[in-house]
Chains A and B, each alone.
Chain A
């Protein structure tokens, strides 16, 4: 058994539509992998299916965390097993402050009857906010309500920092961000990088990978991983364009 997030010959459908086709991928703990590919190719579907979204049906194949299949687990059980998904479109939760939300999420990880130590929680929260250059006033705002795109993504990274996952999937974290916000978010992810975290960064653009330099790059097209390589693959893809991938995909099929 290896410490990794592993996807084995995974097939995922939404209703009758087959989206992910026979995809395999392994992200060892401590590494950052990127998935690139054109829009509508199944990248976000993969992210949501791994998180356990009820609309996404895994028809065959497997997904494992540290060698254990997670497919039978509920969404929240997967989370408590150390899987974090930074959403492309984070949801608003009116009336629930960021601090209370994160506190509830951390409390859910404690055994029944145990409660989080409030002063210790706030100390950690403020430390992580300082690290991510987030204003402390942020904590009393309702989760994502009226946030700018950049604020939403920063809020995702803050939650990730506080929940300390073993594996994180970042779904189009760069979408809707200007270059300054992109830098802040990337700095945050880089600060969390280390031997205890395996990350899968999903992106449409090579741009993000200038800031979050991946250990490996996978290219997805039409629901399949069609090519994997070192970080240079991202640059090659950028210069040759997605038509090149279409060709590869065509040859593979």
Chain B
């Protein structure tokens, strides 16, 4: 491992280092049917999935970029210059000892094996297109919990996988879900049997190491009746000069009475286009909670949603987005009420620093025939400098008079006088700013798991340090 150390580019940021590439499998540059054949051949996939991918490619090609409502920066993605599949090995290892040194060292520097020992029930660590490591603690596996890569899930448990795959988010949902459907690789497959409560979180870590690369993981989580599971994902990439694409699709299914908590700590470098589709179906009495924290990236577009399909289902989105200089965080939530007495709660906090831009887009839909539905939406924006920008686009469609919706929005600013006050107490300008930001998100992060809020606080500090230079 000491030999590898000389090849590392180290920066102050925890995630900003990379190793020389050594990929055994490389689908080459650009996207055609041949790319898909290559991926299918390497993975040894069945024909139905090959067909599924090829149909998705056609959908992807036929759809326009959503620039009629989203940023024109999307036009800067050159789909012909991206590499769509890069893997060192197509099978994940169950022991860190079997993982190649440079990959293992990457995850060690990101603290993954340490966290696994401390508080996780299982870990999957993806390096470019495939998971390098995947393991679930024996006690959890004994309860019948399945936790593996989506390719393995697809092959080993087709009876569960096929039933839900692409059902929560259809291929044609948007251009990027179609792209993912065509070239997806990696991501997690989780199944929790009825009544099983997984006491510790399952964690996945997504690492992009290669330049000009697109990571397209596909995650499918099914919590069967009355079960409970918490899933955490982290993501990083080193800083490259060229744009990198991350376009995931995440589908969650909470069967009656089940509870899923999905936590994201995203810390992409500032060249990553992060265009992710995340949605859940919540059946009767089920609860789905998305905790979504977006730091870094060049452009993030992500609106986690819950389709509240069963009576008394509940959906929550709690999100924090930090848009630093040159970044655009376009995030929000979707709550689709489709049964009586369903409730949803959206709390969104965004921070814009310098010329950073944050956008909130919310969609709440309650059709006329429903009764007793409730939604609460709060979106708060904090501006750090006078040229920061924030926009809010809440779309609330409520028909009928038997439902209840509440919406609050606020914009506040960290003033020069506030910073002066804090600096007078001995805090540097960066410390003062990060303290204000942490104060702003505090009422939200208090509700997060401890390990997560500590990590978040640290990331905010790093970001603010960088922003004052």
**Residues in A lying within 8 Å of B, measured CB to CB:** 51, 53-54, 74-76, 78-80, 84-85, 87, 90-96, 100-102, 104-105, 108-109, 142, 159, 163
Contacts and interface: CB of A to CB of B under 8 A. Distances in A.
Point out which of B418, B426, B439 has the most chain A C-beta atoms below 10 A from its C-beta.
B426
A95 B417 contact: no
Given A93-B422, A104-B425, 19 more contacts: A54-B416, A74-B423, A74-B428, A75-B423, A75-B424, A76-B424, A76-B429, A79-B426, A87-B421, A91-B415, A93-B436, A94-B412, A95-B438, A95-B439, A95-B440, A96-B438, A104-B427, A104-B435, A105-B427
A54 B420 contact: yes
A96 B422 CA distance: 11
A91 B423 contact: no
A182 to B, nearest CB: 23
A203 to B, nearest CB: 20
Interface of B: 412, 415-418, 420-429, 431-432, 435-436, 438-443
Contact of A75 (B412, B420, B436): B420
Contacts of B418: 91-93
Contacts of A104: 425, 427, 431, 435
A163 B426 contact: yes
21 contacts: A54-B420, A76-B425, A76-B429, A76-B432, A79-B423, A80-B426, A91-B415, A93-B421, A93-B435, A93-B436, A95-B438, A95-B440, A101-B422, A102-B425, A104-B425, A104-B431, A104-B435, A105-B425, A108-B426, A108-B427, A109-B426
A95 B441 contact: yes
Contacts of A95: 438-443
A95 B443 CA distance: 7
Contacts of B440: 94-95
Point out which of A54, A76, A93, A105 has the most chain B C-beta atoms below 10 A from its C-beta.
A76
B424 A85 contact: yes
A39 B418 CA distance: 24
A51 B431 contact: no
A34 B347 CA distance: 50
Nearest to B428: A76
A3 B438 CA distance: 38
A101 B423 contact: no
A54 B424 CA distance: 12
Contact of B428 (A94, A102, A108): A108
A85 B415 CA distance: 18
A80 B423 CA distance: 10
A53 B429 CA distance: 13
A96 B436 contact: yes
A92 B414 CA distance: 10
B409 to A, nearest CB: 16
Contact of B426 (A54, A76, A93, A96): A76
Point out which of A75, A91, A142 has the most chain B C-beta atoms below 10 A from its C-beta.
A75
Contacts of A51: 420, 424
Contacts of B412: 94
A99 B239 CA distance: 37
Contacts of A100: 435
A245 to B, nearest CB: 30
B382 to A, nearest CB: 9
Contacts of B442: 95-96
B425 A79 contact: yes
A96 B434 CA distance: 11
Contacts of B438: 95-96
Nearest to A89: B417
A90 B425 contact: no
A93 B423 contact: no
A93 B421 CA distance: 9
B433 to A, nearest CB: 11
A88 to B, nearest CB: 11
Contact of B420 (A53, A80, A142): A53
Nearest to B439: A95
A108 B421 CA distance: 14
Contacts of A87: 421, 424
A169 B349 CA distance: 37
Contact of B439 (A78, A90, A93, A108): A93
A31 B438 CA distance: 39
A85 B427 CA distance: 14
A51 B425 CA distance: 10
Contacts of B416: 54
Contacts of B427: 76, 104-105, 108
A87 B418 CA distance: 12
B439 A94 contact: yes
A100 B422 CA distance: 12
Given A104-B431, A105-B426, A142 B421 contact: no
Contacts of A79: 423-426
Contacts of A92: 418
A159 B421 CA distance: 12
A84 B423 CA distance: 11
Contacts of A53: 420
Contacts of A159: 425
Contacts of A102: 425
Contacts of B436: 93, 96
